[in-house]
Amino acid sequence: MIAAILAGGFGKRLRPYTEDVPKPLVQVAGEAIIDWQIKWLKKHGVRELVILAGYKKEKLIEHLGSGSRHGVKITYVIEDEPLGTGGAVKNAEHVLSKEEVFLVLNGDILTNLDPRKLVARLEEDSRLKGVIASIPLPSPYGVLKIEKDMVVGFIEKPVLTDYWINAGVYALRPESLKYFPERGDLEKTAFPKMAEEGVLGVVRYENVFWKAVDTHKDLEEAAQIITNVLKGEL
């Protein structure tokens, strides 16, 4: 199994951490985000990675090298100018099109979900060209419990199980690459078109750890969870 990691973004909301390194190299609980990702992927049988790099690409290459330090094999596909998430995947078509199935993930997420479920869903339905991991919407705010005109309790940042979000982890067939643009984000181009044509499936994950590290607050929360709860799992 091969996984492509989207690692080319500027990470503007994480400055000053991203002034000298790309977002996947920002430290969370003593290790770079991408190091945590590699540990997670290895745990689920992934031994080959394609790093879709752009901003500060030389830092990623210096940090990861061939992948031997992590016990994986790493290939780099470089974008010379920002292509968006969809364009970055399309830019790696010459590598990814050789695989029967491949994973794609955002380079700023930390999770312990099992990506093999995505692959299984894809393989059990020949109509599908891609499968998205989805999780219940985690509310960024606390919620009031109200009865009539009185507050009767508080729920701190509940999970809103009536709504499901894109978790940024995908299993794809090579045939999906025809939907990807030369430039643009996959969430706005490839996936809406695939959904329209009925070739995009989903796996719902409940009771998993998932955190997108996009802001300073996200960084602090992710570090706390990993340190206190998940250090042995990732």
What is the tens place of the pLDDT at every residue in 11-47? 777 788 778 888 899 888 888 999 999 999 999 999 9
Q: In whole angstroms, what is the distance from residue 38 CA to residue 108 CA?
A: 12
- Please say whether the beta carbons of 97 and 90 come within 8 A: no
**Who contacts 48 (Cβ-Cβ below 8 Å, separation ≥6)?**
1, 2, 3, 72, 73, 74, 75
Q: pTM of the prediction? A: 0.87
Whether 95 shows a pLDDT value over 60: the answer reads yes
CATH of 2-230, one of 3.60.150.10, 3.30.565.10, 3.90.550.10, 3.40.50.170: 3.90.550.10
Long-range Cβ contact pairs of 207-211 (< 8 A, separation 24 or more): 208/111, 208/112, 208/113, 208/135, 209/110, 209/111, 209/112, 209/113, 209/233, 210/109, 210/110, 210/111, 210/113, 210/135, 210/138, 210/167, 211/109, 211/110, 211/111
pLDDT of 232 reads 56
pLDDT band at residue 221 under the 50/70/90 scheme:
confident
What average pLDDT does this structure show over 205-210? 90
Q: Give 144-167 pLDDT, tens digit per residue.
A: 888 888 687 888 777 767 789 899
pLDDT of 189 reads 93
pLDDT band at residue 227 under the 50/70/90 scheme:
confident
- Please say whether the beta carbons of 23 and 108 come within 8 A: yes
Whether 7 shows a pLDDT value over 80: the answer reads yes
- Please say whether the beta carbons of 21 and 34 come within 8 A: no
Higher pLDDT, residue 207 or 173: 173
Whether 136 shows a pLDDT value over 60: the answer reads yes
What average pLDDT does this structure show over 171-181? 96
pLDDT band at residue 205 under the 50/70/90 scheme:
very high
> Closest Cα partner for 34 from 42, 43, 44, 26?
26
Q: In whole angstroms, what is the distance from residue 176 CA to residue 215 CA?
A: 31
Long-range Cβ contact pairs of 176-180 (< 8 A, separation 24 or more): 176/129, 176/130, 177/89, 177/90, 177/93, 177/96, 177/97, 179/129, 180/86, 180/87, 180/89, 180/90, 180/93
φ/ψ of residue 192, rounded to 5 = -60, -40
Task: Find the helix or strand (DSSP H, E) in which 134 lies.
Answer: strand 130-138
Whether 184 shows a pLDDT value over 60: the answer reads yes
Whether 190 shows a pLDDT value over 60: the answer reads yes
pLDDT band at residue 230 under the 50/70/90 scheme:
low
What average pLDDT does this structure show over 182-193? 93
Higher pLDDT, residue 131 or 138: 131
CB atoms within 10 A of CB 10: 15
